C-alpha cells in the first residue's frame, strides 16, 4: 500500500517532511500547498508533485493524508477540516497555544475517528529511543526520576518570541513530552522557576530565556527539566532516567568524533548546533512511524492527547512562575 | 609554626580528621576525647597523642585548635565553649539542626572573634575545585545556572534517618553549600519536590528519599539539585556550571579507569560507592586549608555563616514541600 | 554540468555507489551492466537507468564516467578499456593483486590521460577527514607517528579468503592507504608480524588473521597498523596521529550513543559492526568527490598511483613476514 | 611481624620507597645509606631512621631487607652482596645493562636462595592491575594481542641518555615487562623500528626517541609497543588487551576530571605529566607487595628472571634495529 500525501506549508520544517515522505517506499508526495506560491513550486519541482490549494487538496479523494506545517494559529482549523474530510493528519506541534482550542479540536478528531499524530520529533531520535527501549526492557527497574537538560545554542529572533507562546509552550514543551514519554506515568503537579539571563530584550517581550521545572506524578515519580536559550558549545540535549535498578542516559551528538590533545588538554568538537541537523534521523523516523501506523491501521503516537497534555504542563509551568507555587495540572486542564 | 590539635569525637569521621591532622607537617594531634574511652585510646595509640576529657582539653593552654566530630546536638555547645576558651574551631556540619540555635551560637563566635570553619568537605574535592577555578578564571563567563546531581549509593540506616534532621538538612545540605559556592550569589528563594520512592519505611519515619530542588538568586541565577538515596551504580556526584561563555563540569570518580568491551558493549566499572573513599582527598585538603588559615592568620572558609545559610536553604526546602510553594530564604532566617 | 554514469557490477558495493550517484545533484546514473541480468535489472528498476552490456556502454558516447565494481581480476582490463575509450573511471580497490599488472595498467591510464580514482573510502569518512584536517591545520605540528587499530567484527567466508590476495592485500591495504594519507611522506620500509589466532582454517588456506605492521619513511616518521579479523565488540576503526605539538585521534562509531549504569558498571553499546553501516557517509562523500573532480576538471584523489603504493606496502608486508626482516618498498616495486 | 628495612640510595626514587616503607604497618625503615651524606640525613630526619654505611647495614643483623635505589651500575654487586648476607632484596630496574652480568647475578641469588624483587612498578598500577584481573577472570577470553602506547611528556636530560643504556633498555623495558605480564606467554621474537624525531642531539648521542616494537610468542600471540619521548598532552600510558571474547583497556590518568565546554569544543585537562605522580599508587602497592611476600614467605614477583627477560627483549629490539630483521630472543640470551 502506498499512502498519498499532501503537504500543507512549504517552509523550513515542511521541506524536512517533504523529503521524509518522498524517501519512504510506502508513501508518495502528491501535492503541496503554501500561501507563498514560490515555496510550493520549489517543493513541487524537487519532488515532482502538484501545487494545489487547500480546497483542492480537501476535494481530492486520492489524498490519504496531510502533513500540517503551516503557522501555529492555523493548525486546529486545518486538523478539524481534514478530520472531517476523512484524512489522516500529521500536525507539527503545537496543535494550538490555547488549551480550550486544543480540547475543542480533539473533540472533532474523536468524533470523526480521524488518525492524528502530533510532531514531537524527539521521541524518534535514535538515542532517546535507545534510552526508552532500555527503560522498557527493564534495564533501570522501576522508573523514579527523569532528568532532562535541554539548551538551545542561541535564542530565536525577537519577532519569533512574540508569537511563540513563550519558552514553556515553545521550547520546554518538547521536554514536557519527553518527560511524559520516559516517566510512563502522568505528571500531576508542576513547579517552575524562570529568569531572563541571556537577553534582556526577551524579558521586555514578556518571556524568559532560562527556566527550570520540576514535575511529579501521583505516585511520586519525579522529573526535572533545565532549559537555557544559550549554550556556546552547541545544542545540548540530554535525557537521563534513574530507576530502582540503574540509570540510562543519552549522550550529546557531534558532527565528527575526534579529539585533539596538546598542552591545553584534550578537546572534542562542539555539539551539533542546529535542531534540523541534530534531529535529522528523528524527523525521518517520525514520518516513517506515521506511515507505518496508517498502513498497519494501528493508532498513531504521539497522539492529539499527547499534544494536549504537554501543553497543559506548559500552562501549569507558566502559572507556577506567576503564582510562585506548585500548580496542579488539573487546574489548567479545566 | 605547628598547630596543636585536640580531636573531640573519635568515631568514623573523627578518624579521618585525626589522620589528616597527623599527616600535616604544620600540625600535631596532641589530644583526643571521646565518650567511649576505647575509641579515644585507639586514636591515641595510632597517632601517639594523649587521651583527655573535654574539660582537660579546655584547660590545656597548649592546645590551639579543636576538631569537633561529636554528635550533632553537641556541636553548638562545644563551639561556644571553645570559642570562649580562645581556640580555633573546625566543626563537622551541621552546626545544629535549629536555625535559631545556630544563630545564637554564631553570635558567641562573633563576639569572641573565634576562628570557626564548618566541614563542607566537597568544596575541597580536587574536581569541584577544578570547576570552581575554571569559573573564577572566567572560563564560563557570567554564571547563570548550576546543575547538581547528587545520589547516594543506598539509604542510611533507619535509626540514622530519625536523628538526621531529614534528607534536606542531612544530604541536600552539601548540595546547597555547593550551589552557593558555585553561584557566587546568594539564593533567595527555593522550590522543592519530595517523594518516597526507594524505601517506604523512610516515609513512615517522616522523611523522603528522592528530592529535587530549584534555587534562584536575586538577579535570577538558577540552581537545580537532584537527590536520590539510591544509585545502584555508585556514589553519583556531578556538578555543572553554565555561564554566558560556556560550561564547566566535574565528572564522577571510579576506583579504576578501565573499560572492557565485548558483544554486550563497552563497560566501565561502577563509581566509587562510599563517601570516605570518594572524598579522601577532599578531607585531607579541608584540614590542610583550616591549618593554612590558622598559620597565615587568614579567615577560615567555609565559615559559620556558610553553615547557617546552607541550613536556611534546607529549612526553606522543607517548608516548600510542606506548603507547596516557592519559599523565600528570608522567611526561615527570621 | 551533469555527469552521466554507468555502473559496472551491480553487487553489494555496486548498489552503494548506484545510490550515491543517483542522489548527487550533479550526476545521473544512465546505465548498469552486470554478468547477472537480475542484479542489473534491480538497479535499473530502482534508479530508472538502462541495462546495457559493457560493449554498449563503451560505445555510448553520452556516458562520461564508469564506476567499476566488478570482480578484482577484471579491474585492470576494464580500466584500460575505458581509459582508451576516453571515460573517467572510478574503480573499487584494488586495481589488481599483481604489482606488475597495476603498473602496466597505470601506464595506459597515463598515456590516455584518463581520470582514474581508486576507492579508498576511508579517506572520506567524516571522522578521519576531521583528523586529517586537524593535521593539515597544524594542530599536531610536524607529524611523527600514525597509529592505526583496525579490526573486523569477524572473519570473511573461507572462499573469500582464497581469492582476496591475503589479509595484507585485502584488509590491511585500507590501513596502508590511511597511513600514507596521514603521514604525508612515503613509507620506504616495512616490518610485519602475522599469525593465525582466530580461525585455524584461515591458516590452512595460507592466510593470516592477526597481523601487525611497522612502516617508516625516509625521514624516520613511523606508522603502526594493528589488525585482527575478530573483535566481538564491533568494527574497531581507530586512527591516531602524533606530532611535535600534539595528537589528533578519531573515535569509534556506535549506532546509538547511550549509556546504561547499574551495579556492574556503565555500559555503552557495541560499535557498528558492518563496514557499509560504519562507512555510509564515507561512500557518499567518496563519489561526491569523484564527481566534484570531474566537474571542476581537477585531479581525482586517491589516484591510481595511490592504489599502486598501498599494494606495494602490502606486498612488502607479505615479504617481511616470509623473510623475517624489514623489507624496502623499492624491493617490491621492481 | 615487622620487616626492618635499609634503604640504599636516597635520591628521587629512594624517597618514594622510603615513604612507602614508612607508611606500611608491617614495615619499619631502620637505616639509610647514600654516597651523599646530606641526602641520607634528610631521609633519616624525616622518617627517624639511622644513617649508616653499606658495610654497617650488611653487618646489622636486625635489617631484614634492603631497597636498592643506587646507580644502575652498582645494582648487581649490591644484589649479590646482600643475597650472600641473607637479606631480602628489592631492586630498582634494571638489574644491570648487560645480560651476562644479570645472568651471573641471578645465579648468586639462586644459590643463596635470596628473595629478589625487581621494580617494575607499573604492574602495581591499579588501572593496569584492573586490566590484568579482567584478563585473568576471562573477560577477554584467550589473549591474542596486547597493544601498548607509552609516551613520555618530554625527553630526559642528555647526560641521562648517555648512561641509560638507550631508549629500549631504559623506557621500553617497562613496556616489555607489561607485554609479558599481559600476554601470559613468553615472547620469542622481536622486530623494532627506531627513529630520531624529537631531538637531534639524542641521535648524536647514539640513541633514538621514537620507537615501535612488535613481539610474538611461540603460539603466535602478538604485542605492539609504541614509544615516543614527547607527548605535549602529558604522560601517555595506555594498555589494551584483545582476546577471543573481547578487549580490556586501561585509560589515561588526569589530576582532575573536569571538562570545560565552549565554542571551541569540550576540553578536558592534559594528562598527569610526571611518572611519580602518575604512579604514586603503583609505588606504594609495589613495596606493599614486597612486604607481603616477605611476611607470607611467598615468592616475590616480578622476579629477577622477569628483570632478565625484559632486558633480553630490549637487547633483541636493539639488534633488530641494527640488523633490520626479526630477532629471536634466544639469540641475545646466549
- Per-residue confidence (pLDDT) for residue A334, from 0 to 100: 82
Phi-psi region of C113 (alpha: psi -120 to 50; beta: other; left: phi over 0): left
Residues in chain B: 334
Q: What is the mean pLDDT of residues B303-312?
A: 98
* Strand C116-119 relative to strand D265-268, pairing: unpaired
- Per-residue confidence (pLDDT) for residue C311, from 0 to 100: 98
The torsion angle over the Cα atoms of residues A132, A138, A139 and A143, rounded to 10 degrees, is 70
Q: Which residue of A has its CA nearest to B213?
A: A214
Q: Check if the beta carbon of residue C70 is closer than 8 Å to that of residue C32.
A: no
Q: Does D13 touch chain C (CB under 8 A)?
A: no
The torsion angle over the Cα atoms of residues D219, D191, D252 and D274, rounded to 10 degrees, is 130
d(CA B279, CA B121): 8
Task: Provide the percentage of residues in chain C whose pLDDT is more than 70.
Answer: 100
Give me the total of CB pairs closer than 8 Å, taking one residue from chain A and one from chain B. 117
The tally of CA atoms less than 13 A away on the side-chain side of residue D270 is 17
d(CA A243, CA B216): 28
Q: What is the mean pLDDT of residues B7-14?
A: 96
Furthest C-alpha separation in chain A: 67
Q: Check if the beta carbon of residue A210 is closer than 8 Å to that of residue A198.
A: yes
> What is residue D270's three-state secondary structure?
coil
- Per-residue confidence (pLDDT) for residue C88, from 0 to 100: 98
Which chain B residues contact residue C265 at CB under 8 A? 233, 267-270
Interface test with D, best of C144, C155, C187 (most D CBs within 10 A): C144
Distance in Å from the first CA to the final CA of chain A = 42
Give me the total of CB pairs closer than 8 Å, taking one residue from chain C and one from chain D. 116
Contact map slice: D 118-157 vs C, CB within 8 A: 142, 144-145, 147, 149, 151
Q: Using one digit for the tens of pLDDT, what is the confidence trace for B144-193?
A: 999 999 999 999 999 999 999 999 999 999 999 999 999 999 999 999 99
> What is residue A48's three-state secondary structure?
coil
Mean pLDDT, chain D, as a whole number? 97
Between chains, do D197 and C212 touch, taking CB under 8 Å as contact? no
Distance (Å) from the C-alpha of residue C69 to the closest C-alpha of chain D? 33
Mean pLDDT, chain C, as a whole number? 97
The C-alpha cell at C139 is 594542530
Q: What is the mean pLDDT of residues B90-117?
A: 97
The tally of CA atoms less than 13 A away on the side-chain side of residue D216 is 22
- Per-residue confidence (pLDDT) for residue D204, from 0 to 100: 97
d(CA D222, CA C197): 10
Contacts of C48 by beta carbon, 8 Å cutoff, 6+ apart: none
Q: Check if the beta carbon of residue C34 is closer than 8 Å to that of residue C14.
A: yes
Q: pLDDT grade, residue D334 (50/70/90)?
A: confident
Q: Does C203 touch chain B (CB under 8 A)?
A: no
Between chains, do A145 and B226 touch, taking CB under 8 Å as contact? yes
- Per-residue confidence (pLDDT) for residue D260, from 0 to 100: 98
Q: Check if the beta carbon of residue C310 is closer than 8 Å to that of residue C180.
A: yes
Q: Which residue of C has its CA nearest to A260?
A: C248
Interface test with B, best of C263, C266, C272, C273 (most B CBs within 10 A): C266
Global confidence as pTM: 0.96
Which chain A residues contact residue D272 at CB under 8 A? none
Whether the complex's predicted ipTM surpasses the cut of 0.90: yes
Q: Is the model's pLDDT at D62 over the cut of 80?
A: yes
Q: Does C263 touch chain B (CB under 8 A)?
A: yes
Which chain D residues contact residue B246 at CB under 8 A? 260-263
Q: pLDDT grade, residue B334 (50/70/90)?
A: confident
List subunits contacting chain C, requiring 3 or more Cβ pairs under 8 Å: A, B, D
Q: Does D98 touch chain C (CB under 8 A)?
A: no
Q: Find the CB nearest A324 among B151, B221, B325.
A: B325
Q: Using one digit for the tens of pLDDT, what is the confidence trace for D294-320?
A: 999 999 999 999 999 999 999 999 999
Q: Using one digit for the tens of pLDDT, what is the confidence trace for C72-110?
A: 999 999 999 999 999 999 999 999 999 999 999 999 999
Q: Which residue of A has its CA nearest to C238?
A: A258
Q: What is the mean pLDDT of residues C7-24?
A: 94
Q: Find the CB nearest A228 among B195, B216, B242.
A: B242
Distance (Å) from the C-alpha of residue A23 to the closest C-alpha of chain C? 11
List subunits contacting chain B, requiring 3 or more Cβ pairs under 8 Å: A, C, D
Q: Which residue of C has its CA nearest to D245?
A: C232
Q: Check if the beta carbon of residue D236 is closer than 8 Å to that of residue D149.
A: yes
List subunits contacting chain D, requiring 3 or more Cβ pairs under 8 Å: A, B, C
- Per-residue confidence (pLDDT) for residue A170, from 0 to 100: 96
For residue A79, give the nearest of A319, A298, A303, A323 by alpha carbon.
Answer: A303
Contact map slice: B 264-323 vs C, CB within 8 A: 264-270
Q: Which residue of A has its CA nearest to D153?
A: A263
Between chains, do B221 and A197 touch, taking CB under 8 Å as contact? yes
Which chain B residues contact residue C261 at CB under 8 A? 232-233, 270
> What is residue A278's three-state secondary structure?
helix
Q: Find the CB nearest B233 among C232, C263, C270.
A: C263
Mean pLDDT, chain A, as a whole number? 97
- Per-residue confidence (pLDDT) for residue B38, from 0 to 100: 95
- Per-residue confidence (pLDDT) for residue D1, from 0 to 100: 75
> What is residue A240's three-state secondary structure?
strand
Q: Does B85 touch chain D (CB under 8 A)?
A: no
Which chain A residues contact residue B189 at CB under 8 A? 193, 324
Q: Find the CB nearest A260 among C248, C260, C261.
A: C248
For residue A192, give the nearest of B216, B234, D29 by alpha carbon.
Answer: B216
Q: Using one digit for the tens of pLDDT, what is the confidence trace for C53-76?
A: 999 999 999 999 999 999 999 999
Q: Using one digit for the tens of pLDDT, what is the confidence trace for D168-204?
A: 999 999 999 999 999 999 999 999 999 999 999 999 9
- Per-residue confidence (pLDDT) for residue C182, from 0 to 100: 98
Q: What is the mean pLDDT of residues C139-159?
A: 97
Q: What is the mean pLDDT of residues B106-112?
A: 98
Phi-psi region of D117 (alpha: psi -120 to 50; beta: other; left: phi over 0): beta
Distance (Å) from the C-alpha of residue B198 to the closest C-alpha of chain A? 7
Q: Using one digit for the tens of pLDDT, what is the confidence trace for B222-278?
A: 999 999 999 999 999 999 999 999 999 999 999 999 999 999 999 999 999 999 899
Q: Find the CB nearest A260 among C127, C134, C257.
A: C134
Interface test with A, best of C256, C264, C280 (most A CBs within 10 A): C256
Q: What is the mean pLDDT of residues C279-291?
A: 96
- Per-residue confidence (pLDDT) for residue B1, from 0 to 100: 75
- Per-residue confidence (pLDDT) for residue D78, from 0 to 100: 98
Which chain A residues contact residue B230 at CB under 8 A? 244
Between chains, do D212 and C145 touch, taking CB under 8 Å as contact? yes
Distance (Å) from the C-alpha of residue A278 to the closest C-alpha of chain D? 16
**Within 10 A of D159 (CB to CB), how many other CB atoms are there?**
9
Q: Find the CB nearest C222 among D191, D193, D325.
A: D193
Q: What is the mean pLDDT of each run of 10 residues along chain A (334 residues)?
A: 95 94 94 96 94 97 97 97 98 96 98 97 98 98 98 96 95 98 98 98 98 98 98 98 98 97 98 93 96 94 98 98 98 93
Which chain B residues contact residue D255 at CB under 8 A? 126
Q: Does D197 touch chain C (CB under 8 A)?
A: yes
Between chains, do A145 and B232 touch, taking CB under 8 Å as contact? no
Q: Is the model's pLDDT at C1 over the cut of 80?
A: no
Which chain B residues contact residue A197 at CB under 8 A? 142, 144-145, 220-222, 244
Q: pLDDT grade, residue C334 (50/70/90)?
A: confident
Residues in chain D: 334
Residues in chain C: 334
Between chains, do D244 and C198 touch, taking CB under 8 Å as contact? yes
Amino acid at each position: 500500500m502506498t499512502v498519498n500525501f499532501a503537504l500543507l506549508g512549504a517552509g523550513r520544517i515542511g521541506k524536512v517532511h517533504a523529503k521524509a515522505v518522498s524517501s519512504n517506499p510506502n508513501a508518495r508526495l502528491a501535492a503541496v500547498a503554501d500561501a507563498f506560491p514560490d515555496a510550493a513550486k520549489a517543493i513541487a519541482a524537487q519532488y515532482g508533485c502538484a501545487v494545489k490549494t487547500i480546497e483542492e487538496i480537501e476535494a481530492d479523494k486520492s489524498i490519504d493524508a496531510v502533513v500540517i506545517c503551516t503557522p501555529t494559529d492555523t493548525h486546529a482549523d486545518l486538523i478539524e477540516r481534514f478530520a472531517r474530510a476523512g484524512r489522516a493528519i500529521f500536525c507539527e506541534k503545537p496543535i494550538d497555544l490555547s488549551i480550550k482550542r486544543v480540547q475543542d479540536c480533539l473533540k472533532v478528531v474523536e468524533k470523526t475517528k480521524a488518525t492524528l499524530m502530533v510532531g514531537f520529533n524527539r521521541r524518534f531520535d535514535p538515542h532517546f529511543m535507545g534510552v526508552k527501549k532500555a527503560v522498557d526492557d527493564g534495564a533501570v527497574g522501576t522508573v523514579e526520576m527523569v532528568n532532562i537538560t535541554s539548551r538551545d545554542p542561541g535564542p530565536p529572533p525577537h519577532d519569533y518570541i512574540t508569537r511563540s507562546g513563550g519558552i514553556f509552550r515553545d521550547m520546554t514543551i518538547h521536554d514536557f513530552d519527553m518527560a511524559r514519554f520516559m516517566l510512563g506515568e502522568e505528571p500531576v503537579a508542576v513547579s517552575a522557576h524562570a529568569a531572563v539571563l541571556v537577553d534582556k530584550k526577551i524579558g521586555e517581550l514578556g518571556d524568559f530565556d532560562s527556566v527550570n521545572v520540576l514535575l511529579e506524578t501521583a505516585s511520586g515519580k519525579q522529573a526535572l527539566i533545565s532549559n537555557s536559550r544559550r549554550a556556546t558549545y552547541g545544542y545540548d540535549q540530554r535525557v537521563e532516567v534513574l530507576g530502582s535498578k540503574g540509570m540510562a542516559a543519552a549522550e550529546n551528538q557531534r558532527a565528527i568524533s575526534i579529539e585533539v590533545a596538546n598542552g591545553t588538554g584534550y578537546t572534542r568538537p562542539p555539539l551539533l548546533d542546529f535542531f534540523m541537523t541534530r534531529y535529522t534521523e528523528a524527523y525521518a523516523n517520525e514520518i516513517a512511524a506515521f506511515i507505518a501506523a496508517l498502513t498497519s491501521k494501528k493508532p498513531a503516537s504521539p497522539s492529539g492527547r499527547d499534544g494536549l497534555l504537554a501543553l497543559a504542563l506548559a500552562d501549569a509551568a507558566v502559572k507556577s512562575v506567576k503564582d510562585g507555587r506548585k500548580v496542579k495540572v488539573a487546574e489548567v486542564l479545566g
